[in-house]
Every structure is written in C-alpha cells, then in structure tokens.
Amino acid sequence: MENLQEIPAPLLAWYDRHARILPWREQPTPYRVWVSEIMLQQTRVEAVKPYFERFIGELPTIRDLAEAPEDRLLKLWEGLGYYNRVRNMQKAARQLVSGYGGEMPQDFDAILALPGIGSYTAGAIASIAFGMRRPAVDGNVLRVLSRLEKSYDDILKQSVRRRFEEELLQVIPEERAGDFNQSLIELGAIVCVPNGAPKCPECPLKEVCRAHADGVELELPKKTPPKKRKMEDRTVLVLVSDNKAGLHKRPEKGLLAGLYELPNLPGRLNREEVLEFVKKQGLSPLRIQKLPAAKHIFSHIEWHMTGYAVKVEEPPAFWENGGTEPEGREIQKAPAQEEIFFVEKEQMEKNYSIPAAFGAYTQYFKERY
Ligand code: ADE
C-alpha cells in the first residue's frame, strides 16, 4: 500500500515523545528482548513488568536459563500461564549454549528456527536487539495496518500477516528498524486500541489512515472467529472373524478422504441396531460386546464414539481384499468401494494405515472374541 511510505517519519517522531518507559526497552539485549516478547505474547504489559525483572534478576544470561532446574523455572513463571512458553525458551537456550556459545546468533533464520520463536518474535529480536530490517507483526500491528489500509481481510489468516510483513519490509527505516517496529506496536497498544475506543485525535497517522478518512475504524480489523466444532455421534465396529479384521475404505472426498477405517455409522446405535446393520452387510454375527466410549477431536468436527466388538462367521472368500483366490473357484464379485472387506489382522497392522480417530478401538483386535 502506497500510504505506508508515509508512516515512518511521523510515527518515529511520535514514539520519541510518547513511548512508555518499560524495563525491556532499557538495554535491549537479545536475551532481554526475547524474554519480554515471550512474556508479552499472552499477558498485559503491566502484569509482565514484575515477572520480567524477577526472571532476568534470577537468570541473567541465556546460559543461566539453559541450566535452571525446571522447578525453579516454573516457579518464576507461576501466574503467567501457558507454561510451554518457558519450557520452549529453555529448550532454545540449551540449543544456543550447545550451538552458539550461549549467545543469540545475529541471523534471522537461525533465530526463527529456535523452539517457541515464530516470525513475530524472531522479527522483534532481530530488529530491536540487532537493528536488522525485519518486520514484527503482532496483534497490535495487524490492527494498526488493517485500519491504515482500510483492509477488510481476515487478520487471523497467515496470508494476510505475510502480506503485511512484505509491505512493511519496503518501509522499515535502515537506521531505526527496532524503534519503528516498537512504535507500531506502541501505537496499537495505547492509541489505535481495540474494542471500540481508538484515540484518533491523538494519532500521528490520522492524516494517512484510510479507515479514519472514511469513518470506519470501528469496523476494523476483521477477524473471522473459528467455527464451532460440529458434534457427531458415531458407532464404530471392531469386526472380527478368526484372525481377520473388517475394514472399509472411506470416500475419496471429505474428512479422512480415501483412508481405511473401522466400519462405522452415524448415531449411537444399540446392540440390536448394530446386529441388524451387520446382517445387512451379508455377515453372520456370532457374538457382540459393547466397548468403552471414546472421543476424537478433528479441527471442525468432534466424534463421540460408541464401540462394539462383533465376532462374525467366516466371510465369503471374495470379500478378502488381496487374499488368495480359493482353488477352483472364480471370484464372483470384487468388493465394491463402499463394502466392508476382511484382511488378516497382521496385514492390517502392516499395510493399512488407520487414522488416529480409531485408535481407541484398534487395540481391541488384539483380544480374542
Ligand atoms: N507488546 C509486545 N511487544 C511489546 C513491546 N516490545 N513493547 C510494548 N508492548 C509490547
């Protein structure tokens, strides 16, 4: 966007007068920037301040972080939540000790490769601590840029973040890359604030802002909330015949497309309904046993599963997929796409990858029925 060319000068002038005094802004060493940015990811600035001082006081170097006992580390993080953040930091610190002499390398790709560091944090460290011309686009910056450009693109999309990163790369000033990134973050944090109260009269960019020009700043940024997962009841069958297991190939389109699965059907069926279904498939059930319920969470669907183990009589040979043709008898009919077929349990384990959604039930093939 061409109006981004106009932002560095007024933004930096504003930052010089209005930037908050924050502990990590004094001596912005790579380690201090890193620790602060990780803490700030899910926590407010005011809440982070005392944690930051205590953490840096007790573990003043990357090496100290690498060597800290886990209990001490978790204690220092207690109250901040999302403990994986600090576990990942320690993993990264250990990599820095073993590979880089305990120092953060001045190399963007190497920083980005560390555990727990994504493009935002890598960009913040590279620009604030090393002065490298790299963007650092967090939620604040996404909001500021959406409004500046009057962009209705969904800021939760990776592609939108990448586009903003590319556009910023064109305008980050050579001499003050870190201050420029922090000024965008700061503007988002104290002026171009979310939840209906942007302080446009105070904004150094009000003349360049396209959302402000059209009076639509409250409509932006756009975020499509993730859809609620659909709940689905399914009944899963562990079909066994001697040493064979009944399988089914999923349709080529949709969820788990083209993969093999344990036969399953919608709803929460009772024994009678299951037996009826099994007979309809041309199979003769000998015994049925209810199995414990199980749950599997996909990104958009949640399966709540009821399971049954059903022992059936030996199915006709032509049902065997890939089995040898019985002597003197022609295969009458290849199993149709949608039909259940039987394979040796051993073959199933070796040659058919069954999705994890059925993991709670595949174990029952190991039992005797
Ligand atoms: N939020 C995330 N990073 C920040 C920073 N460097 N300064 C102030 N607020 C922030």
Closest residue by Cα to atom 5, ligand 1, is 182
Compute the average pLDDT of residues 242-246: 93
Radius of gyration of the chain (CA): 30
Helix, strand, coil content of the chain in percent (nearest 5):
45, 15, 40
CA angle 134–34–175, rounded 5-degree value: 35
- Examine the fold and report which residue of 219, 249, 281 is the final residue of a domain before the chain moves on: 219
Residues 297 and 346 in one domain: yes
pLDDT tens-digit series, residues 263-304: 999 999 999 999 999 999 999 999 999 999 999 998 889 999
In Å, the largest CA–CA distance within the chain is 93
Residues 15 and 136 in one domain: yes
Percent of the chain residues past pLDDT 70, beyond the cut: 93
Residues 214 and 235 in one domain: no
Kindly give the distance from the C-alpha atom of residue 87 to the centroid of ligand 1, in angstroms, as a whole number.
Answer: 21
Closest to 146 (Cα-Cα) out of 216, 48, 245, 244: 216
Within a domain: 224: no
Ligand 1 pocket test: pick from 36, 85, 180 the residue with the most ligand atoms within 8 Å of its Cβ.
36
Q: DSSP readout, 175-239? A: S-HHHHHHHHHHHHHHTS-STT---GGG-TTTTT-HHHHTT-GGG-SB--PPPPPEEEEEEEEEE
What pLDDT is recorded for position 336? Answer: 52
- Examine the fold and report which residue of 168, 196, 219 is the final residue of a domain before the chain moves on: 219
Amino acid at 110: A
Residues 137 and 267 in one domain: no
Judged against a pLDDT cut of 50, whether residue 149 lies above it is answered with yes
Amino acid at 8: P
Catalytic residue among 2, 6, 37, 166: 37
Is 77 in contact with 52 (CB distance < 8 Å)? no
Residue 289 three-state SS: strand
Residues 279 and 152 in one domain: no
CATH number at residue 256: 3.90.79.10
Kindly give the distance from the C-alpha atom of residue 124 to the centroid of ligand 1, in angstroms, as a whole number.
Answer: 9
* Mean confidence (pLDDT) of the chain: 92
CA angle 129–133–139, rounded 5-degree value: 80
Closest to 269 (Cα-Cα) out of 307, 311, 231: 307
pLDDT tens-digit series, residues 308-364: 999 999 876 655 554 444 444 444 444 455 689 999 999 998 888 788 899 999 999
What pLDDT is recorded for position 368? Answer: 78
pLDDT tens-digit series, residues 214-231: 999 999 999 988 788 999
Closest residue by Cα to atom 8, ligand 1, is 186
Residues 74 and 187 in one domain: yes
Is 258 in contact with 252 (CB distance < 8 Å)? yes
What pLDDT is recorded for position 42? Answer: 82
What pLDDT is recorded for position 329? Answer: 42
**What residue has token string 């973040």?**
161
Residues 204 and 271 in one domain: no
What pLDDT is recorded for position 316? Answer: 63
Judged against a pLDDT cut of 50, whether residue 369 lies above it is answered with yes
Residue 341 three-state SS: strand
* 165/142 Cα distance (integer angstroms): 10
pLDDT tens-digit series, residues 67-83: 999 889 988 998 888 88
CATH number at residue 110: 1.10.340.30
What pLDDT is recorded for position 253? Answer: 86
325 in catalytic set:
no
Within a domain: 47: yes
| Lowest mean pLDDT segment, chosen from 31-35, 197-201, 365-369 | 365-369
Within a domain: 57: yes
For residue 198, CA distances in Å to 110, 121, 184, 189 come to 37, 25, 14, 10
Ligand 1 pocket test: pick from 45, 48, 120, 144 the residue with the most ligand atoms within 8 Å of its Cβ.
45
Bridge partners, residue 233, by sequence: 304
Judged against a pLDDT cut of 50, whether residue 181 lies above it is answered with yes
Closest residue by Cα to atom 3, ligand 1, is 37
Please give the tally of structural domains in the chain: 2
* 1/360 Cα distance (integer angstroms): 51
Residues 158 and 186 in one domain: yes
Within a domain: 300: yes
Residues 200 and 290 in one domain: no
Kindly give the distance from the C-alpha atom of residue 149 to the centroid of ligand 1, in angstroms, as a whole number.
Answer: 22
Ligand 1 pocket test: pick from 119, 137, 140 the residue with the most ligand atoms within 8 Å of its Cβ.
140
Judged against a pLDDT cut of 50, whether residue 28 lies above it is answered with yes
Kindly give the distance from the C-alpha atom of residue 73 to the centroid of ligand 1, in angstroms, as a whole number.
Answer: 22
What pLDDT is recorded for position 70? Answer: 87
Kindly give the distance from the C-alpha atom of residue 137 to the centroid of ligand 1, in angstroms, as a whole number.
Answer: 11
Within a domain: 225: no
Within a domain: 93: yes
Within a domain: 59: yes
Q: How many residues does the chain have?
A: 369
pLDDT tens-digit series, residues 152-180: 999 999 999 999 999 999 999 999 999 99
Residues 187 and 293 in one domain: no
What pLDDT is recorded for position 351? Answer: 84
The ligand 1 atom at the shortest distance from the C-alpha of residue 41 is: 2
| 269 CB-near residues (< 8 Å, 6+ apart) | 235, 277, 306, 308
Closest to 164 (Cα-Cα) out of 136, 127, 192, 191: 136
Residues 100 and 242 in one domain: no
Judged against a pLDDT cut of 70, whether residue 41 lies above it is answered with yes
What is this structure's pTM?
A: 0.67
What pLDDT is recorded for position 168? Answer: 98
The ligand 1 atom at the shortest distance from the C-alpha of residue 182 is: 6
Strand (E) or helix (H) holding 294? strand 285-297
Strand (E) or helix (H) holding 46? helix 45-58
Domain hosting residue 106, numbered range: 2-219
The ligand 1 atom at the shortest distance from the C-alpha of residue 136 is: 3
- Examine the fold and report which residue of 219, 253, 279 is the final residue of a domain before the chain moves on: 219
Is 87 in contact with 69 (CB distance < 8 Å)? no
Residues 84 and 206 in one domain: yes
What pLDDT is recorded for position 195? Answer: 87
Does residue 300 come out as left (phi exceeding 0), alpha (psi in the -120 to 50 range) or beta?
Answer: alpha
Strand (E) or helix (H) holding 120? helix 119-124
Q: How far is CA 354 from the centre of its chain?
A: 23
Q: Of residues 245 and 299, which shows the higher confidence score?
A: 245
Within a domain: 6: yes
Name all residues whose Cβ lies below 6 A of ligand 1.
Answer: 22, 37, 40, 45, 138, 182, 185, 189
Own/partner pairs for 16-20, CB < 8 Å, 24+ apart?
18/186, 18/190, 19/182, 19/183, 19/186, 20/45, 20/186, 20/190
Compute the average pLDDT of residues 120-139: 98
Q: Which two tokens stand for residue 22?
A: 């924050």
What pLDDT is recorded for position 352? Answer: 87
